[in-house]
Amino acid sequence: MSSKPFSERLKELPRNVWAVSLTSFFMDISSEMVINILPLFLFNVLGVQTAIIGTIEGIAEATASILKVFSGWLSDKLRGRKWIAVGGYAISALSKPFFYIANSWGLVAGVRWADRLGKGVRTAPRDALVADSIQPEQRGLAFGFHRAADTGGAMLGLLIAALAVWLTQSNDQTLGEGTFRTVVLISLVPAFLAVLSLAIGARDIKKGKRESAAPKITFKGLGKPFLIFLLIVGLFDLGNSSDAFLVLRAQERGMRVIGILLMLAVFNLVYALVSTPAGDLSDRVGRRKVIIGGWIIYGLIYLGFALAQQPWHVWALYIAYGLYYGLAYGTAKAMVADLVKPELRGTAYGTYNAILGIIDFPASLIAGLLWQGVAGWDGFGPSAPFLFGSGMAFLAAVLMFFWRPKKLTQVAQ
């Protein structure tokens, strides 16, 4: 455990962590200003039902799942992370202009899925590059800082989107088509800056000689502790439907579009402020404790969303939602590196992201069906998906509490 001050430990983060973080900062400016108003565009402009929105969002995450495994494995095989990640960011950047011409939910879905294909290519190599670049005793800090930069970009993107709504709409009760397309055009600039940032700023970390054969894509080789961790996180994720439903819940409770965007910006501010110190805390007290705390907060927040009556209730809950993300998201990624051998990190991150991506589909589909049902069935109403998510979070937190992995590479278990 390092005795250096927090600010000094932050300054010592290597070049790759800063380069990857800057890349995520730019890409999230681009992505979040579009993705957070996309469900409103589908619902308000195109008249799409929540079950279809849930299906689009679920497939958007699940469609790239196999690529996440393959790209992670490929980065292990080639012992090169950077250019695979750059390619993934480029795919996402090139897909974004097509949102501008999309005029049906089918076309929107196609562009959304293409964007997520890019995420599927880049995520595992990028995370493995961060893990390769940092010592175990600073791993939580590095992933927390990356999440903070990523989320800072999201906050800025949302503020830009809110400004666009304010300047282009006299009525912000619902989202207008022109406003959506204006935001898409603005989002193209930071998307391409993200690609350049990683291409110019990052360097691959070469470790050792090519003495062993390329790792096989297999669950068994990743070890029992990792697989148990994956099972518990997967159970939590089954109740963690797309945040599109939180946006729709806010509008259903009477919040205007610009109010939703400002709320999301404050959420991302909290997320960004919490992520780095939470990652540092996980280096000191252990990942499990921080993750359990985040999941308990999530369960309470989703219970609150189920019971919310007024727009200000949603505001308060969404701000608190940033605490969950700040505590658990980056910490869970740091724990992946704790549980596997260095030469299998790309495969492990690919598997981790792929399994969660696959689960995102039934999670969002279940949420959409619980809310609005399907032909011939009306569902249980807007509160139902949040009650389900709350219950799954509490169950996963209990399982994580009783799970005690014997071997972790982190300093404090």
Q: What is the mean pLDDT of residues 126-143?
A: 87
Query: Which one is predicted more confidently, 2 or 345?
Result: 345
Q: What is the mean pLDDT of residues 180-184?
A: 91
pLDDT exceeds 90 at position 206: no
**Whole-number Å distance between alpha carbons of 97 and 101:** 8
Give the list of residues 6+ apart from residue 402 with CB closer than 8 angstroms, or none.
none
The structure tokens listed for 2 are: 């390092």
What are the sequence ranges of the domains in the chain? 14-205+219-402
> 374 phi and psi, to 5 degrees?
-145, 180
pLDDT exceeds 50 at position 409: no
Buried b (16+ CB within 10 A) or exposed e, 311-332: beebbebbbbbbbbbbbbbbbb
pLDDT digits (tens, 9 = 90+) for 334-365: 898 888 888 788 888 878 877 887 887 788 88
pLDDT exceeds 50 at position 412: no
The architecture that CATH gives domain 14-205+219-402 is Up-down Bundle (1.20)
Question: In which residue are the tokens 């039902």 written?
Answer: 49
Mean pLDDT for the chain overall: 84
Q: What is the pTM of this model?
A: 0.72
